Every structure is written in C-alpha cells, then in structure tokens.
Structure 1
Amino acid sequence: MPPSGIATSDRIDSLPLPIRHADDIFVDGVWTPADSSERRGVIDPATAHEWGSVPIGNSADLGAAVSSARRAFDRGRWPRMAPSERAAVLRRAADRLELLAQPLALTNTLENGTPVAESGGGATNAASIFRYFATLAPLLESDDVRPAPAGTHETLVRRDPIGVCALIAPWNFPINLVVVKLAPALLAGCTVVIKPASLTPLSVRFIVQALTEAGIPPGVVNVVTGSGELGDQLVRHPDIDKVAFTGSTEVGRKIARQCGELLRPVTLELGGKSSAIVLPDADLGVLRSALIRSTLRNTGQTCYISTRILVPDSRHDEIVATIVGTVAAAPQGDPLDPATVFGPSASVAQKESVLAHIAGARAQGAHVALGGDAASMPAPFSAGNFVEPTVLTQVSRDMSVAREEIFGPVLTVLRYGDVDEAVDLANATEFGLGGIVFGGDETVALQVAERVDSGSVGVNFFASNHAAPFGGRRDSGLGVEYGPEGLHAYLTYKSIHRRQRKA
C-alpha cells in the first residue's frame, strides 16, 4: 500500500494508463467523436477521485453504432467468411489482449475497485475464452444432413448467425463478462454493439484494440457508452436481433419483458444467492483454502459466490471460528496493492446498500461475528467505499440477508440439523446460480450436490469451465453462456428439405 501521505492524484498519475478521458465511440472500425456533449466521470472507488471521463451517448450515437453493425452484417464479409477464418481472428485477438494485461488490469481496478490480484488475470482469462470458442469452428463447418424418419427425403440443417447482437455488460467483471458473449457471437458470424456498464466504460477499449489489431473488419464490433436509459434504447432498437445481458435480476426482468414483446431472443445472466453446504465430515483445511475465492471473490461482488454458509449443529462453533479467522486474516486496503484481498465497493451506492443490508440483519436479530461497519482507512483511502469484511451468524432463513443478494463482503451463516434440512435451506431461495458442497467423502458430497437446484455446483471448490454451460435457474436468468451451448445462442437454424440422394 502507498504511504498514507501520498496524494490521491499522484497515486493515479504515476500509473501507465493509455487513456483516461475519451470523447468518442467506436463505429465502423474507428473511434469517432460522439454526437453527445454530455460526459460522465470515471471514479476510483478506493479514493473517490475522478480520474477519467467518457461520453454519455445519445440516440444519435446509438443509431450510428447499430447502423454500423447492421451494414456489416447485411453487406459485409464477416458473416460470409468461413468459421475457421473467423476463429483465426479470435486467436490473434487473444494474443494481442494478453500483451495488454497490465494497463487493462490497472484500468479495471481504478474503475470498479477490483484488487489487482484479481484483475491481473483478466486478460489471460479473456484470451482463453477467445481461444476456446475458436476451437468450435469445426462445429459450424461440418455438414448436418438428417434423413427423414419415413425415408422419403433428407434435410440439410444450416446454422446461420442470428444477426446484430446487443451485448450489455456489468461492472463487476467488465472484461470477461463481455468476452463470454462477444467470442461466441463473433465466431457465429454476428456483428455486435457493446454497451459497457456506466462504472466501467474504459476497460472495453482494450478488447476493441486487440480485435482491431487482429484484423476484424470495420463495423463488426461497435461500442457506445452511456446510461441505463441508453441500454434500454439498445434493447428495443428495431435493428437488434439478439440481446445478451449480465446484471441485476430487476433489470433482467425488464429486458425479458421487452424482448418478449418484440419476440427477440435474449440471454440473461442475473443475480444469485448461492449456498455452501458444509457437511459434518468436511475437512476444515479444505474449507479454509477455498473460502475467500468461493464465497467472497472480488470483495463479494460476484454473482455465483456462495455467501450463505450452511453449517451442521454438531460443528457450528468450530466452523464459525474457521470462517471468522480466515476472513479476518485476509488483507483489506489499496486494490492496487497485490497483497490486497478485499478492496472497496464499486460505488457509493453499492457501499450504502451493503451497509443497509447489515443494519437490517442486526435489526432482525443476526449476530455480527466479524466486521459490520464501514471500514476506517488511512489517507488517501479515507474517502473510499470500503466496508469491513463481515460474518453474520444466528441468521434464519426468513431474514432479508438470507434471501437477498448483498453484493458485498458479507457472509451469512445458517445452521442445519441433518443433510435433508441443509438441502432444503440451500434450495429455499428464488435464485439458482451457484453452490458448493464441502465434504470429506466426495462421493457423498456429489450426491448432495446433485440435489441442489442450481445451474452450477462445486464439490469442495467452485470454478467455471469454458467448455461447460454456465447459467442460472429461476431468478438467476435465462439461457446459458460458455460451451457449445453458449455458441448456439448466437445461431439461427434453417432446414432445407431435398430428395434423398442415392448412393
């Protein structure tokens, strides 16, 4: 951490940031001045210092971006290239993106407060997503001929790109949660308009740079920055063929309604309130080693993490002591310090929301075993959005903190008597995104995991897999990302019936 007397501006001015103040949007393969004269500041959540700014795009900016994508899809060469050619561009973009890892990580951290220990891996992970989807090109190039059951004819099934896609990204992982949409869309032959989150408008420029250097044709990728209102206009634009959104369930419901009225395909990756079931035979060393990554990743600002920890009555005090000790030992501070585990909340509003959840838990009878307040930080971080890492015990299933997504460094501990009750608690939520089962006997833990009603569940840890579908159930979303299933979301199908060919 820098010395407490360092000036806020000096802390940022010393960093190798390629861009801070932008006045443009990306249309037709170039950064071009925005029509809008309104601007939004980019705030460092660790210090509350404004260090950058971008345009607040208007309807003319949005129209230019969508028109560019429409022309590139209807008349450009990208959708008409062989999938293997498009895959080659993705691979080159992956190589270029990895070369941008340091400035990308610093920009990300200064936008949303993600510790560099986390953001430092963003470029590598995004590159691996590009490379994975590039491996799926043969799926799009193979003939799919299906004989009719009656034997009278056969059908040639074509997989066509779905069209112009609106990709609306969240602020917590502004690179990877764009690329997981962008890579399959591009491989499929689609063109896109990206609208980054208001808090994180600059990180996406590194993706654009990598793709441009990789040779992607003009108009295939377009970017416009702006407010939530602009995102609403993008979803409803008549030239958009598909929407992909990651964000809150509240906004996701609104987008789902709009797309339903328009009969427009949509993928929604929304909120979560996942549970970690600690079985009676769990190895607490394993729990300790996986706890932060699996339950408080990115200062708790992650959708799938298991912030509800379900512990057996027989080992309650022992497990709580392990949880409290592990969380208390993780450093909180400057997110630019590689040793930092817990950074700030991404915004003042997010900090206030987290503190309100904690206050509500106290009022409903929860016990604060650790933390529970705004963190007291030295200068220049005293004005930042820091919340103490918090562990709440004596939490019952009807409390708000046991049901609502907090999106901050807060764990809730709920007790159970037997495994049936633990599974019931885990499934007693409107969400269904992630989950973990910690157990010494992994065969038994797997059996319990299969009973958890969630899109993804880990056994003794949690991790995503680019080759496997990731998506939520109920209020956690519609559709999936990753895997061949994630590619299919950007395809539309045509059946061409013909007389069966003779051998």
Structure 2
Amino acid sequence: MNHDRLYVGGRWVAPTSGETIVVVSPSTEEVIGTVAAPSIADAGAAVAAARASFEAGTWRRTPVAERIAALRRLADAYEARVPEIGDLLTSEMGAISRWTQFVHAGGSVALIRAVCDDAEQYPWEEPRLGGSATILREPGGVVVAIPPWNVPQSTLLSKLVPALLAGCSVVVKPSPETPLDGLVLAELIDGSGLPEGVVSILPGGREIGEALVANPEVDHVAFTGSTAAGRSIAAVCGRDLKRVTLELGGKSAAIVLDDADLDVVTAGLKATAFNISGQACIAQTRVLAPRSRYNEIVDALATMVDGLRVGDPFDPATDLGPLVSSVHRDRVRDYVKTGVAEGARAVVGGVDAPTGTDRGWFLSPTLFADVDNKMRIAQEEIFGPVLSVIPYDTDADAVAAANDSDYGLAGTVWTTDPARADAVVREVRTGMIGVNAFRPHFSMPFGGVKASGIGREFGREGLDAFVEPKAYYHG
C-alpha cells in the first residue's frame, strides 16, 4: 500500500517535502508500504486550514444532532472496512489478528457509536440559577491529536470523535510506525461529508509533532504516548497556555489477595499483562502476591506464560506477535538483562528469541520472581512481555506497594471477597481499577494520575475536554 498524497484540510494534496515514510512489517521485516512524509510547511498548512474552518464556523455552528449523525455515518462506513483495517494493523505493528479484527478495529466502531450516544445525553446547554442563567458548552477551537503506534485507531478516535462532536477542527498526527491505517481513516472521513478544513491527517515523526504543538494557532493538544514526551508537550502548552490532555505511561499493579482463585488470576493476567505483546500502557505488569501463597502463584503464572505461543500474528493460534521494531525489541531485551542483574529470577523466558522466529522482532515472554518493588523492572515501564511477581505480607502492604510508583493508570484486585476487594480498591491511587478482570468501557473515563497523565478520555469526561463552558446570564 502506497500513498503519495497528504490529507490536509479535507483535501488530498501533494506534499512539499518529497520524502517518504517506509513501513516495515515487524513480523517479516519486509516493506509493506510507503506514505508521503509531511514537511513543517505541510503541518503549518494543516493548522491554517483548521483555524480558517473554525473561524468560518460552518462545522462549529452545525447543530449537535447533525454532527452526531455525521459521526454515526462514519461508524457505518468504518464497519464495512473492519476486516481490511484489522489486517493492516496486524501488518503494521504485529498485533495478533484476532485482537486487531475484533478488539481494535471492531472496537473502534463501538467507540464511535458510544461517544455519539454520550453526546446525545451531554448537557450542551445547562440551565442554572432557576433558569435565569445557562451554561453553554462551546467548541474548544483547533485541536492537535497525537496517537501512538500501539493502539493507533482507537487512541486516534478517542480524540478525534469527541473533538468533532464538540464542533472543533482537528489536525491528527499518526505515528510513523503506523501511518497506513491512519490514511485509511482519512479516506473514510473524506467520504463522510465534513466541511473543508475540519480534519487533516498527517503521519509524521517527532519534528512534525513538535511543530504542531508549538503552533500558536492551536488551542488544545491531545496526546497519548510516553511520559517523557508528555512532559515536553505539557511544558510547551503551559508556556503558551494551551489546553492539554495527556494519556501517558503506566506500571499497573495486579493485587492478588490470599483468597484469590488462581485459575481466574492466570486467565485474567494472560489478557491484561500480555495483550499486544505487553505493549500497552494499561498492562498489569506488577503482580503483588501474598507470601503465604507466593510459590503457588509463581508456579501458576509460569505455567500460563510458558504456554503462550509466539509467532505469526495472522495465525489464529498465536498468542503474542512481534514487538513493533528492532529498536524497541532491543530496549525490552535490555530490561530483561537488567532484571537478572538486579537479582530477580527469570522463571520463564529470557533474552532469546522464541524457537522458529528467524525473522521478525520477536521476544520470548518473561516471568520474573523474587522481585523487589524498588527494582527498575518493577518501577519503569518496559512496554513488552515482561511480568514481575512481588511478594507482600498484609493487604495494607500490597496497597502501599501498588501506590509506590510514579504511575497511576490502571490496576486490578483478585479475590473472592467483594467487601475486601472494595476496601483495597478505595486505597489504590490510580485512574482505573477492576476486580477479577479489567475491561475498560467507552462510556467510562479513561486516564490516570501522577505520571500517567492529565485529563480523561471517553464518556462525558472525554467530551468535557473539548468544550469551553460559557456562563450566560439572561437579561
């Protein structure tokens, strides 16, 4: 798949740079496509088109019901291309096809519709003071949306859809690792009848992102990615007084209480720790296990991890595909080496590639035992298939260890006692937490505390991010 045009302000235009982004399959190391690379001038043109469209007001003055209808049409068009988008995602970033098809691409359709449902119930105009005043929630302006490579479609749509429903104009910068699916979305948007200038989609690297964030015509930056990049973006937005929402890293704890059903624990952590080969901000990568059952829990997890099948992501039997790039694979491998050097015990896995993966950026899933919560492998986001089991004595100790982290994005509690679970849940400082499972919903706020970010996506809170409340006192 090759794209030689850029989608700027609702039009397909020739790039000014003449350069291309080459997309390589992480499972075969073969080139699967190229896209035109935008220049700084192209990024400026996209922002200028967004600003012009916002000031002209065609979209922001469109009634909310009509904006919702337009996004529902986009969902219908997207649904027809789910198989194609799912296969493209597997080719681009190596996630297994049953996830890209049914969870990611299929879930993106559900995401659009869920946000539309929330928009229908949202208080766009809210009476106050007995009807003598009204809160008008108005479009926030020009938005720059920067999604990551690991969940490229849903993270893109989690910003684009509520921003459009709010009446904003949006410039999206997909990651250079996964530009192809972003341009398929541009094709769908191009056929959806949105006014010219309202949406631009420019896949590009860091320099394009930096230019977009720093552009004085941008009112709001919505970013998902690393905490380091988020800090840089927040600094620029703070200097220029732009609004900013940041969904950043995580080092989530799975607290296994001493009465937990280990069959439930292992089945749940197979999904929450190793989804997308561990390349997920919400991955539950710290397992806090009671000393009274520590060896039993380690053995159960070892059986689960050892049974994971690594290989061709298009094979329905595969559990884990490759990591997204050779650079990232080597980074995760270095963390495995660090864990051993720190004194942790690699019960399963290690630095070697799995048998039968002569090509591609594969790494064996690794389970560490005898991990201290102060070790780097327990404190830093690895973003790969590496799970650490940390012992604790009391429930209070487990909570303290869970909270002893720079991050606070997600978490789980595993127990057969609902009252005990509730007590623990209320003490863990995190943005999201589940009991005996972790299943985020598109109508619930998604985001974290501390170094995991600022603001929330999805639900009413996701719409709040893209509006400005105006206090209107009636005469």
Q: Which is worse superposed, 133-142 or 268-277?
A: 133-142
1:125 is the counterpart of 2:125: no
In structure 2, what residue type is equivalent to 1:416? Y
> How far did residue 25 of structure 1 move?
0.9
Deviation by residue 1:353-380 (Cα, 9 ceiling, x = unmatched):
10110101111101000001231443xx
Q: 1:337/1:70 Cα in 2 relative to 1: closer, same or farther (>3 Å)?
A: same
**Which of 342, 348, 352 is the equivalent residue of 2:320?**
342
Contact 2:7/2:202, CA 8 A, preserved across alignment: yes
> How far did residue 66 of structure 1 move?
1.2
Alignment of 1:224-243 (within 5 A): 224-243=202-221
Which residue of structure 2 aligns with residue 475 of structure 1? Answer: 451
**Which of 310, 322, 333 is the equivalent residue of 1:355?**
333
Q: 1:479/1:230 Cα in 2 relative to 1: closer, same or farther (>3 Å)?
A: same
Alignment of 1:389-400 (within 5 A): 389-400=365-376
Which residue of structure 1 aligns with residue 270 of structure 2? Answer: 292
Aligned-partner Cα distance in 2 for 1:317–1:40: 48
**Which of 218, 225, 230 is the equivalent residue of 2:196?**
218
Which residue of structure 2 aligns with residue 28 of structure 1? Answer: 9
Contact 2:118/2:443, CA 8 A, preserved across alignment: no
Contact 2:136/2:469, CA 8 A, preserved across alignment: yes
Which residue of structure 2 aligns with residue 79 of structure 1? Answer: 60
In structure 1, what residue type is equivalent to 2:266? R
Which residue of structure 1 aligns with residue 149 of structure 2? Answer: 171
> How far did residue 209 of structure 1 move?
2.5
> How far did residue 466 of structure 1 move?
1.2
Aligned-partner Cα distance in 2 for 1:249–1:497: 41
Deviation by residue 1:453-490 (Cα, 9 ceiling, x = unmatched):
10001100001111111111000000011110110100
Aligned-partner Cα distance in 2 for 1:205–1:330: 33
Contact 2:310/2:354, CA 8 A, preserved across alignment: no
Which residue of structure 2 aligns with residue 11 of structure 1? Answer: none
**What number of residue pairs does the alignment pair up?**
474
Aligned-partner Cα distance in 2 for 1:377–1:166: 43
Which residue of structure 1 aligns with residue 236 of structure 2? Answer: 258
**Which of 416, 419, 424 is the equivalent residue of 1:443?**
419
Q: 1:36/1:479 Cα in 2 relative to 1: closer, same or farther (>3 Å)?
A: same
In structure 1, what residue type is equivalent to 2:86? A
Q: Which is worse superposed, 208-217 or 317-326?
A: 208-217
Deviation by residue 1:12-36 (Cα, 9 ceiling, x = unmatched):
xxxxxxxx12121101322222111
Name stretches of at least 5 consecutive residues in structure 2 with no aligned partner: none
Aligned-partner Cα distance in 1 for 2:77–2:300: 42
In structure 1, what residue type is equivalent to 2:423? Q
> How far did residue 287 of structure 1 move?
0.9
1:453 is the counterpart of 2:429: yes
Q: 1:456/1:324 Cα in 2 relative to 1: closer, same or farther (>3 Å)?
A: same
* Secondary structure of the structure 2 residue equivalent to 1:159: strand
Aligned-partner Cα distance in 2 for 1:127–1:185: 17
Deviation by residue 1:75-114 (Cα, 9 ceiling, x = unmatched):
1421111101000011111111111111111111111111
Aligned-partner Cα distance in 2 for 1:144–1:38: 49
Alignment of 1:57-456 (within 5 A): 57-121=38-102, 122-139=104-121, 143-147=125-129, 154-378=132-356, 381-456=357-432
Deviation by residue 1:251-309 (Cα, 9 ceiling, x = unmatched):
00000000000000000000000000100000011112211111111100000111000
Aligned-partner Cα distance in 1 for 2:421–2:259: 10
Q: Which is worse superposed, 206-215 or 106-115?
A: 206-215
TM-score normalised per structure 1? 0.92
Contact 1:115/1:298, CA 8 A, preserved across alignment: yes
Which residue of structure 1 aligns with residue 440 of structure 2? Answer: 464
Aligned-partner Cα distance in 1 for 2:37–2:195: 26
> How far did residue 317 of structure 1 move?
1.1
**Which of 25, 35, 39 is the equivalent residue of 1:54?**
35
> How far did residue 155 of structure 1 move?
2.3
Aligned-partner Cα distance in 1 for 2:122–2:197: 22
> How far did residue 139 of structure 1 move?
4.5
TM-score normalised per structure 2? 0.97
Q: Which is worse superposed, 127-136 or 339-348?
A: 127-136
Name stretches of at least 5 consecutive residues in structure 1 with no aligned partner: 1-19
> How far did residue 70 of structure 1 move?
1.4
* Secondary structure of the structure 1 residue equivalent to 2:108: helix
Contact 1:235/1:243, CA 8 A, preserved across alignment: yes
Aligned-partner Cα distance in 2 for 1:346–1:377: 19
In structure 1, what residue type is equivalent to 2:116? A
In structure 2, what residue type is equivalent to 1:481? E
Larger radius of gyration: 1
Aligned-partner Cα distance in 1 for 2:169–2:140: 9
In structure 2, what residue type is equivalent to 1:480? R
Aligned-partner Cα distance in 1 for 2:370–2:125: 59
In structure 1, what residue type is equivalent to 2:274? L
Contact 1:394/1:413, CA 8 A, preserved across alignment: yes
Question: What is the percentage of aligned positions where both structures have the same residue?
Answer: 39
Q: CA RMSD in A?
A: 1.4
Aligned-partner Cα distance in 2 for 1:31–1:292: 42
Aligned-partner Cα distance in 1 for 2:79–2:355: 34
